[in-house]
């Protein structure tokens, strides 16, 4: 839907017009509900198909803590680090995925020696127990979120190991940035699913009607007795769950399908 079509849909649901339900009021309904729906979508989108943006920072030799804005740190989807400045045959840095961790569980002081003894710079298996890796077990790098910063838990990060004092864009974070607020309800050209810019997102088209329905329901809750909920609005929760379930299963390549062996009758 365009923004104008969206506004018209809400007014149809509420049986109001542009005078009794103004654009300004619609915006106060639509934008908070958009954030709520986006949060639900993100919580079910385990494969990172919605609202994902990259953020890059330089990896500095002997530096483990890196500042990022709260809106990035609060919505991290994945963290990768390149512990070498040698690019591969595609001209890309050798990024390794870093998993979240809590260093306190090791019961060790936060020293460089302890970090290098318990973490590595290469990719590997997860921890085998709560006390650390087995002898020779490769566990790879991890990270912690501290106050307005990301803290790397890894092997050595001196200039000799890295091959440089600075690896440009050596830290790559993917995080969720929720869709931009609607600026108005007048545009009738651009679909609301279209990204407004390279750093902001539109809203998934399959949720537009549900979004309008939720706005109508909120308006009716604020005006009890004015207009009763329609049969469609009474099915909102079921329809929303169906759409959310759909985004969980939009890639079936990893699905495992079990089958019973063919019965010939001889084994009976």
At residue 199, the pLDDT reads: 86
Per-residue pLDDT of the chain (268 residues; tens, 9 = 90+): 999 999 999 999 999 999 999 999 999 999 999 999 999 999 999 889 999 999 999 999 999 999 999 989 999 999 999 999 999 889 999 999 999 999 999 999 999 999 999 999 986 554 444 444 444 444 789 999 988 999 999 999 999 999 999 999 999 999 999 899 999 999 999 999 999 988 889 999 999 999 999 999 999 999 999 999 999 999 999 999 999 999 986 554 444 444 445 455 544 4
Residue 260 lies in a domain: no
Residues 6+ apart with CB under 8 A from 162: 59, 61, 83, 84, 85, 170
Q: Are residues 135 and 236 in the same domain?
A: no
Do 140 and 235 lie in one domain? The reply is no
Domain shared by 16 and 82, yes or no: no
- End residue of a domain, out of 132, 157, 176: 176
Examine the domain organization and report whether 11 and 126 are in the same domain.
no
Q: How many angstroms from the chain centroid is the CA of residue 50?
A: 7
Domain termination site, one of 176, 207, 229: 176
Residue 92 and residue 198 share a domain: no
User: What would the pLDDT profile of 163-214 be if each residue is shown by its tens digit?
Assistant: 999 999 999 999 999 899 999 999 999 999 999 988 889 999 999 999 999 9
Domain count, the chain: 2
Statement to judge: residues 16 and 117 lie in one domain = no
Q: Are residues 127 and 22 in the same domain?
A: no
36 belongs to a structural domain: yes
| Domain shared by 112 and 228, yes or no | no
Query: Is there a single domain that holds both residue 166 and residue 59?
Result: yes
Q: What is the pLDDT of residues 209-237, one digit of tens each?
A: 999 999 999 999 999 999 999 999 999 99
Domain that holds residue 28: 3-48+182-248
Q: How far is 116 from 154, CA to CA, in rounded Å?
A: 6
| DSSP-H helix ranges across the chain | 3-14, 23-44, 70-73, 112-118, 159-162, 208-222, 231-234, 236-248
Give yes or no: residues 239 and 219 share one domain.
Answer: yes
- What pLDDT does residue 253 have? 46
Q: Which of 161, 176, 191 is the last residue of a domain?
A: 176
Structural tokens at position 267: 């084994």
Residue 158 lies in a domain: yes
59 shares its domain with 168? yes
């Amino acid at each position: 839907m365009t923004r104008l079509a969206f506004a018209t849909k809400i007014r149809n649901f509420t049986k109001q017009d542009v005078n009794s339900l103004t654009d300004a009021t619609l915006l106060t309904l639509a934008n908070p509900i958009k954030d709520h729906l986006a949060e639900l979508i993100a919580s079910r989108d385990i494969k990172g198909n919605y609202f994902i943006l990259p953020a890059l920072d330089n990896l500095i030799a002997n530096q483990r803590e890196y500042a990022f804005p709260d809106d990035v740190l609060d919505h991290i989807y994945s963290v990768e680090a390149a512990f070498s400045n040698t690019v591969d045959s595609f001209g890309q840095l050798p990024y390794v995925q870093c998993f979240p961790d809590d260093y306190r569980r090791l019961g060790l002081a936060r020293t460089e020696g302890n970090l290098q003894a318990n973490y590595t710079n290469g990719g590997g298996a997860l921890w085998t127990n709560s006390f650390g890796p087995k002898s020779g077990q490769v566990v790879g790098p991890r990270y912690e979120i501290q106050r307005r910063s990301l803290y790397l838990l890894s092997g050595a990060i001196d200039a000799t190991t890295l091959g440089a004092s600075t690896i440009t864009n050596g830290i790559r974070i993917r995080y969720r940035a929720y869709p931009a607020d609607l600026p108005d309800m007048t545009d009738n050209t651009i679909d609301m699913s279209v990204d407004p810019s390279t750093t902001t997102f539109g809203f998934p088209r399959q949720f537009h009607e549900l979004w309008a329905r939720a706005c109508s329901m909120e308006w009716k809750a604020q005006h009890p007795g004015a207009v009763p909920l329609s049969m469609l609005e009474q099915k909102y929760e079921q329809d929303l769950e169906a759409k959310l379930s759909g985004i969980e299963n939009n890639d079936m390549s990893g699905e495992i399908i079990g089958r019973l062996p063919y019965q010939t009758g001889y084994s009976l």
